[in-house]
Amino acid sequence: MTVTDAQILAAVRYLAVEGRLVAEPAGATAVAACLNDKVPVGPGAAAIVSGGSIDPKLLSSVLES
């Protein structure tokens, strides 16, 4: 299973906007996989989100795109 950098950054944006969570790109990879149908998602599914050490400039750039 692989996800692209663009999919990961979209997951970072999704988490920030929809979940009010700040996650670094590596920490949002599982969410990117879920959002892009790379893994089965159903009742009881969970994704680990970690890391708030994202560069503020990168976060700003992701949120603006």
Total number of domains constituting the chain: 1
Query: What's this model's pTM, rounded to 2 decimal places?
Result: 0.90
What domain range is 55 assigned to?
Answer: 5-64
pLDDT of 7-64, one tens digit each? 999 999 999 999 999 999 999 999 999 999 999 999 998 999 998 889 999 999 999 9
Alpha helices, H only, 1-65: 5-19, 29-35, 56-64
Q: What is the pLDDT of residue 10?
A: 97
